[in-house]
Amino acid sequence: MAPLVAMSDEPIPFTPASGDATALRRAFGRFGTGVTVVTTQTPRGPLGMTANSFASVSLDPALVLWSPAISSKRHDSFVAAASFCIHVLAADQEALAQHFATQGHDFSPFDWTKGPGGAPTFAGALAQFHCDTFAVHPAGDHSLILGHVRHIAMRDDGAAGLMFDQGRYGQFTPRD
């Protein structure tokens, strides 16, 4: 099947069953998101993963979710983790996001400390959500990991967040 290419601002219709996974990925990529790095402590040492599949779920109890791909070599370790930390990245933390997008065991380029639940914690994040795993649900080629938030640290300095849109990193520029 030929890739879908728009020649105007009119949407190009297709179905997910069309077999064009690239077009589906591109369509999902039209939704700009914030960027997180999720960390946990494993028997082999610290582990991290960049994720943009983060969302708040509930205020009472405080629940969040994120969604690692089953095909990821890090998937099983995160699904088995009793606790983890989600770092909402600042615009100046792109190097952290890029690093943990490709591998998860090398923490040497970055300073980190052990967080309240034991997960590695990076300074400079806009928010840190230290969670106990609440539930894990299968969801197609991903798993949904729900975290019960036990501790939060948050910057309140107005710093911009790191964004991901159409395969590119950037930041939101507000209108005056």
Q: Under a CB-based contact definition with an 8 Å cutoff, are residues 155 and 125 in contact?
A: yes
Bond into 61 cis (ω within 30): yes
Reported pTM: 0.87
What pLDDT, in 10s, does the model give residues 101-150?
999 999 999 999 999 999 999 999 999 999 999 999 999 999 999 999 99
Sheet holding 62-66, edge to edge: 45-51, 36-42, 83-88, 127-139, 142-154, 62-66, 55-59
Strands 127-139 and 83-88: antiparallel
Of 9, 51, 57, 11, the C-alpha closest to 33 is 51
Q: Under a CB-based contact definition with an 8 Å cutoff, are residues 141 and 163 in contact?
A: no
- Chain-centroid distance, C-alpha 74: 13
Contacts of 51 (CB under 8 A, 6+ apart): 35, 36, 37, 38, 66, 67, 68, 86
Please name the CATH architecture into which domain 23-157 falls: Roll (2.30)
Indicate the residue type of 159.
Answer: A
Counting residues of the chain whose pLDDT is more than 70, the rounded percentage is 93
Helix (H) or strand (E) holding 95: helix 94-102
What pLDDT, in 10s, does the model give residues 112-123?
999 999 999 999
| Highest mean pLDDT pick, 4-13, 14-23, 24-33, 164-173 | 164-173
